[in-house]
Structure 1
Amino acid sequence: MPIDVPVSENTRVFLNFSLALEDGSEVDSNFNGPAVDFVVGDGSLLPGFERRLFGMSAGEEASFEVPPEDAFGQPNVNNVQKIKRAEFEDEIELTEGMMFSFADAAGGELPGVVTAFNDTDVEVDFNHPLAGRTITFKVRIDTVEPAEYH
């Protein structure tokens, strides 16, 4: 039988959640599926979302307004880059809002969104798509247990 404790450091949390924008449009949700789990501090949930769960217990539900500073940050003008049009394949018909995946310096993938373009340059925004947005974070805690339990 699991040991039920409140959400805190060194706990594994099983929850259902949804993320919505200021206008109420839902960005992500797993309320129609099984609870997902994470260990507090493992990096799978942003710290600004994690902190709001502290003290909650199994069966509790809550809704939080999470400002950009605690969510996906504010847009950074340095994350908008000009890339030569020649770097894109000729057959690609560019449109504003088009998303591409670029290789970063570490060899990982970095998503970028085309914000403007002309015959010579393409402006790509590498900010997180939810940067600058206040997020409504709804959560239902299913189970909380010590992280080493299992």
Structure 2
Amino acid sequence: MKPTPRRERKAEMLPAAKGDIVTVQYTGTLSNGEIFDESPEDRPLQFVIGKKEVIPGFEEAVIGMVTGEKRTVTIPAVQAYGEKLPQRIEEIDRARLPEAIAPRVGDRLEIVGHDNSRRIVEVVAVSDQTLTLDGNHPLAGRDLTFDIAMVEVVKQPKLF
């Protein structure tokens, strides 16, 4: 009796969905083409879709992608780091700072709140008497473009 040849089964390329673990390479650029972030070649980004580990627009962009697929998406500010909020910009008296600090525009400072919470702010204006600090995320109010390459989709069993 002659043996029957075994058929090679092609791995199914199932699209990424909520609950899946995905691994991606990406480059993020601003509208002027400036790169603001990218995954290192040897360390792609891995996250679980639906766990809010990345900005909402990025998570949405990978849904439906399959291993090997590449996609370019522009994510509006509201789906990224939100709009720039004026109430997060405040002017403070320089006397509140330790004397050893000589802030310049563009410096980032860690501020400790009354409740001991910590946040990072950017110095946006300096005068002899005051500092203007911006507590918005540095990318708030900006649309972001990402080139995304899906490296792997690992399907997770649905628990419900």
TM-score category of the 2 structures, normalised to the smaller one: 0.7 to 0.9
Q: 2:124 aligns with which of 107, 115, 130?
A: 115
Amino acid at match of 1:66: I
Partner of 1:68: 77
Partner of 1:48: 57
Deviation at 1:97, TM superposition (A): 1.1
Are the counterparts in 2 of residues 18 and 31 from structure 1 also a CA contact under 8 Å? Answer: no
Amino acid at match of 1:5: L
SS in 2 for 1:110: strand
Write out per-residue CA displacement over residues 92-120 of structure 1, whole angstroms, 9 at most, x where no aligned residue. 22211111112346644311011112232
Deviation at 1:34, TM superposition (A): 2.6
Q: Structure 1-normalised TM-score?
A: 0.88
- Does residue 88 of the first structure (1) align with residue 97 of the second (2)? yes
CA distance in 2, matches of 1:105, 1:52: 39
The unaligned stretches of length 5 or more in structure 1 are: none
Deviation at 1:146, TM superposition (A): 2.1
Deviation at 1:122, TM superposition (A): 1.2
Partner of 2:19: 10
Amino acid at match of 1:122: L
Deviation at 1:90, TM superposition (A): 1.3
Partner of 2:36: 27
Amino acid at match of 2:21: R
CA distance in 2, matches of 1:103, 1:147: 40
Amino acid at match of 1:65: T
Aligned residue pairs total: 148
* Residues 8-17 or 80-89, more deviating: 80-89
* Residues 82-91 or 16-25, more deviating: 82-91
* Residues 29-38 or 130-139, more deviating: 29-38
SS in 2 for 1:8: coil
CA distance in 2, matches of 1:98, 1:11: 39
The unaligned stretches of length 5 or more in structure 2 are: 1-10
Deviation at 1:124, TM superposition (A): 0.3
SS in 1 for 2:152: strand
Structural RMSD (CA) = 2.1
- Does residue 134 of the first structure (1) align with residue 140 of the second (2)? no
CA distance in 2, matches of 1:81, 1:39: 36
Q: Which has the higher contact order (CA 8 A, sep 6+)?
A: 1
